[in-house]
C-alpha cells in the first residue's frame, strides 16, 4: 500500500474514530484467561501465489502465525485451523450453495493441495482442522461446542480474508460469547485497503485488534494448561 493511500486512510480513520467514540463505540473487550488460537483459511489457495484466492503480505502473516503457534503450543492451549472446501464442485448437487455464482468456489475441492493448510504452519497431531462451507468458522461447524467444552473464553484470530472469513468469524465469535482478539500482523486479504478498513471497523464494534507483541506477551503470561492433556475420568 502506498504512503499516499495510508495517509488518506489515517485521516479517514481519525475522523471516524471521533464519531465512534462520541457514540460509545471502540470499547475494549479485553483478554480472558482461557484462550484458543483460531487460524482462518491459511491453506495453500490463499497463502501461495498464482491462485484466484491468493492473498498479499504472506511474508508477514506466515511468520507471525508461526510465532503464535509456538507460543500457544508451549502453553497447551486449543489450536484450530480452518479451510474452505467442497465435496461436489460440478454444480450438480453441489455443497457450494450459490457462492460459486459470486466467487470461483469450484476451485476449492476437498482433498486437493489447494485446500490443505500451508505446510509452513502445519497442524500438529491433536490440533483440529475444520473444513467449512461458509465464510464463518462457526457457521455449520462444531467449533463453538468444541471451544465451550474446553472452557475457552477468548479466541485469538489469524488468517484471511479480512473482509470475509476473518470478519464473519469474529462477528460470530462475540455472538457466541467468546472474546475475539485479532492479531494485526497475522490477518490479511487480497486488497491492502480492505485489510485496514476492516481492522478499524472490527476494532470499533466486534473485537480487539492487537499487535503481535502484545498477544505474544499475553500468551507468555498464561499458566500452562495441563487439564486438556488429562485422561477422561468419566465425570
Mind telling me the catalytic residues?
165
Quote the cell numbers at residue 142: 462444531
44 Cβ contact partners less than 8 Å away, ≥ 6 residues apart: 51, 113, 114, 115, 116, 117, 118
Residues 228 and 75: beta-carbon distance below 8 Å: no
Q: Are 165 and 173 in contact (CB under 8 A)?
A: no
Cell of 116: 490443505
Q: Give one word for 41, left, alpha or beta, with left for phi > 0 and alpha for psi -120 to 50.
A: left
Q: Within its chain, how far is the Cα of 200 from the centroid?
A: 16
DSSP at 104: -
Do 60 and 94 meet the contact criterion of CB atoms below 8 Å apart? no
CA gap 156, 9 in Å, rounded: 25
Instruction: Report residue 23 as a C-alpha cell.
Output: 457514540
Amino acid at each position: 500500500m502506498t504512503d499516499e493511500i495510508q495517509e488518506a486512510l489515517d485521516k479517514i480513520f481519525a475522523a471516524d474514530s471521533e464519531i465512534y467514540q462520541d457514540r460509545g463505540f471502540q470499547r475494549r473487550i479485553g483478554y480472558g484467561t482461557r484462550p484458543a488460537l483460531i487460524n482462518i483459511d491459511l491453506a495453500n489457495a490463499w497463502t501461495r501465489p498464482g491462485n484466484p484466492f491468493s492473498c498479499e503480505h504472506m511474508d508477514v502473516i506466515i511468520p507471525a502465525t508461526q510465532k503464535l503457534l509456538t507460543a500457544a503450543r508451549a502453553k497447551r492451549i486449543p489450536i484450530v485451523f480452518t479451510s474452505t472446501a467442497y465435496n461436489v464442485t460440478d454444480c450438480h448437487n453441489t455443497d457450494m450453495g450459490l457462492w460459486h455464482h459470486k466467487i470461483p468456489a469450484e476451485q476449492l475441492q476437498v482433498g486437493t493441495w489447494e485446500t490443505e493448510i500451508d505446510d509452513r504452519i502445519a497442524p500438529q497431531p491433536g490440533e483440529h482442522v475444520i473444513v467449512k462451507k461458509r465464510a464463518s468458522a462457526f457457521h455449520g461447524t462444531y467449533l463453538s461446542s468444541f471451544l465451550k467444552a474446553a472452557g475457552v473464553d477468548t479466541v485469538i484470530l489469524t488468517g484471511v480474508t479480512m473482509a470475509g472469513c476473518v470478519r464473519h468469524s469474529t462477528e460470530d465469535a462475540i455472538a457466541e460469547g467468546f472474546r475475539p482478539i485479532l492479531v494485526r500482523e497475522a490477518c490479511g486479504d487480497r486488497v491492502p485497503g480492505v485489510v485496514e478498513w476492516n481492522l478499524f471497523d472490527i476494532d470499533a464494534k466486534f473485537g480487539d485488534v492487537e499487535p503481535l507483541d502484545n498477544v505474544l506477551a499475553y500468551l507468555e503470561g498464561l499458566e500452562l494448561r495441563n487439564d486438556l492433556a488429562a485422561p477422561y475420568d468419566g465425570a
